[in-house]
Amino acid sequence: MVINMIDVKIQTEYITLGQFLKFSNIVGSGGEVKFFLQENDIFLNGEKENRRGKKLYPNDILIINRQEFRITK
């Protein structure tokens, strides 16, 4: 069950998954990203995703620990 949707506004064409995790304060540093991705289920547009370099674009939907995020411009 998803809690609620949070819009995350970016100023660039895309943001990587690792950058998103830091930008959204889900992890505190880049060093935590790899461990976080190994230990948590993340879904991008309904597909499981664990690549920190995966590019996220406006209108992409992420679900991280039952929290839903939408990338906006």
Report which secondary-structure segment, H or E, holds 56: strand 55-56
Domains by residue range for the chain, with CATH:
5-72 (3.10.290.10)
Predicted model pTM: 0.89
Q: 73: which residues sit within 8 A by CB, 6+ positions away? A: 9, 10, 58
Say how far residue 13 (Cα) sits from the centre of its chain. Answer: 15
Predicted confidence (pLDDT) per residue in 3-48, tens digit: 689 999 999 999 999 999 999 999 998 889 999 999 999 999 999 9
